[in-house]
Structure 1
Amino acid sequence: MTSPGLDTRLDRIGTDGRYVIVPMDHGITLGAVTGLKDIESTIDAVTRGGADAVLTQKGIAPRVHPNKNGAGYIVHVNASTVIGPDANDKRMTATVEEAIRAGADAVSLHINVGSKYEPKQLEDLSQLTADASRFGIPVLAMAYARGPDVEGDDPEALGHAVRLAEEVGADIVKTGYSGDADSFEHVVESTRLPVVIAGGSRGTDRETLEMVRGAMDGGGAGVSMGRSIFQHEEPEAIARAVAGVVHEDLSTDEALEVSGLALEI
């Protein structure tokens, strides 16, 4: 059920129901990798390029607000590290109240559907949506198909993951890309929530934009794309290109050209 507060906050993190979100919570997972040491400059660049919102853990909020150029802000509320026992074992790092105090317009949580940690993460997501609904705070569920018997790009598994997010009360869902527009239609049709895709590891600019174009052609609502944007040599330019595909329905070639990345192969 929507409310004026929920709708207003959704508008802050998107544009006309489409979303270009740049998650930069990777510092807790990977450390201060390229693009995150001077996170202030990266946030400034991607939001000047057209990102609707940025996403971090709660402790980075003071570095976000002075540099986000009026864009929305999402606080991620669970995490793990690559040097810990199991990177799929995401544990809670923030509450809705803490996110609100940090100035968040929305909260997000990662769940690995199909992993041995799914039951606890499902409980965490359910509790988060219940807490967030009290305050009219949108919840972005990062629902991935990940587990010993799950293929991460299988449209059936991805469709199950996004439906799980809706069933538990999320407002937006992020998941992996199935590889082509036709199969991604099944993922999108599995839920009435807006579905945005993850970026994963960096590819070429053309590969990144072709993936975004395919997701949009399959009915997607945008992207929540981290390393492909914040680790780019020109984060403002790639953000502008991605935003062009999502918000202006540009082709891959048009997005490369308007962003000044046309010579990138």
Structure 2
Amino acid sequence: MKGHRLRHLDAGKKARLYRILFQHGLCNGTALFLPYDQGLEHGPRDFFANPASGNPRYIIDLAVEGAFNGIAIQIGLAEKFYWDYAGEVPLVLKLNGKTEIPSDDAALSPLHASVEDAVRLGADAVGYTMYVGTPAQEQDFAQYRTVREDAQRLGMPLIVWAYPRGSAIEAKGGKSSFYAVDYAARTASELGADVVKVNFPKPDRRTGVRAEYDAEFSSQQAVEAVVRSANRTLVLISGGEKAGDEAMVEKARQSMEAGATGLIFGRNVWQRPHDESLRFVSRLREVLAKYPR
């Protein structure tokens, strides 16, 4: 039955997630998102590889042409550019964000938009970046609670970018270790995320990890464990930094084989020339087509 994974949600959240999963993209319950918050998170350097990508209109056009299930952008870009595309591609409004300039050791991503803004702009979901493992975690969780309560009240799906960060994480295998990614997925699930976005886990990053993770795991075993840890929270696997196409397509295949709902690929897509971007998106869509949900 279509939407059976959404049956635990209230009507507003279910309706919006149903639109994302079954009325856009492949319309088969899988999802492919295009994130475009890197201008804030990393600065304009990310656009050097493809200068056209610095123009938000270029990115949203790409999301429409590539039949993405949604595009994730910050409020300033949503207010200035999304109006022309409203209804053509679902909007995920990012509610918080920070620059890369300060150290990640005590990272906190401050709020600069609200769930009410997302409703006003016609968004189908909101995004929140949560840093798991930093000294600012308590403040982060308290800030997140207000977002979760507003999302629940207004029937807006909440997608959590669950990012392990800080020196404590670096001492336990690093932010991309199986231990860190698995912990982040579980944290987002237990704190009420409807969807969690995580990086693909690297089980070979074992220095300092807990004993249970200091063992031989294949990448397939690791990503399957991460999806299990998220329970009924839908999982999106990030493409991360640009790498070889075959490696990224294989990462996508393993993610979907593990039970993930979909993929969220940003720089891996739009740092390429336009036509090359669409060819790569087509390959990702071929993977998703094999795993209807």
Same fold (TM over 0.5): yes
1:94-135: CA deviation from partner (whole Å, max 9, x where unpaired)? 111112222211101111111222222222222211111111
Aligned partners of 1:19, 1:202: CA distance in 2, in Å?
20
For residue 211 of structure 1, report the CA deviation from its aligned partner.
Answer: 1.2
1:129 to 139, 148, 173: 148
Q: Is the 8 A contact 2:86 2:122 kept in 1?
A: no
Q: Structure 1 residue 248 and structure 2 residue 290: aligned? A: yes
> Structure 1 pair 51/86, CA: closer, same or farther in 2 (3 Å)?
same
How far apart are residue 85 of structure 1 and its match?
5.5
Tell me the amino acid that sits aligned with residue 186 of structure 1: A
CA contact (8 A) 1:48 1:69 kept: no
Which one of the candidate residues 38, 52, 60 is aligned to 2:69? 52
Aligned residues: 250
1:91 paired residue among 89, 103, 110: 110
Q: How does 1:156-235 map to 2 (within 5 A)?
A: 156-179=179-202, 180-192=219-231, 193-233=233-273, 234-235=276-277
Deviation at 1:247, TM superposition (A): 3.2
Judged with a 3 Å threshold, the aligned counterparts in structure 2 of structure 1 residues 221 and 74 are, in CA distance, closer, same or farther, namely same
The whole-number CA distance in structure 2 between the counterparts of 1:148 and 1:78 is 22
> Counterpart in 2 of 1:24?
36
The structure with the largest alpha-carbon Rg is 2
Moved more, 56-65 or 104-113: 56-65
Aligned mates of 1:195, 1:167 — CA distance in 2: 14
TM superposition score normalised by structure 2: 0.78
> Are the equivalent residues in 2 in contact too, given 1:47–1:68 (CA < 8 A)?
no
Call closer, same or farther: CA 1:169–1:239 in 2, change over 3 Å.
same
Gaps of at least 5 residues in structure 1 are 251-265
Equivalent residue letter for 2:75: K
TM-score between both structures, scaled by the size of structure 1: 0.86
Given that 2:165 and 2:175 are in contact with CA atoms closer than 8 Å, whether structure 1 keeps it comes out as yes
Equivalent pair of 2:128/2:159 in contact (CA under 8 Å): yes
Contact 2:95–2:111, Cα closer than 8 Å, also in 1: yes
Structure 2 gap segments, 5+ residues each? 1-7, 23-27, 203-218
Identity %: 28
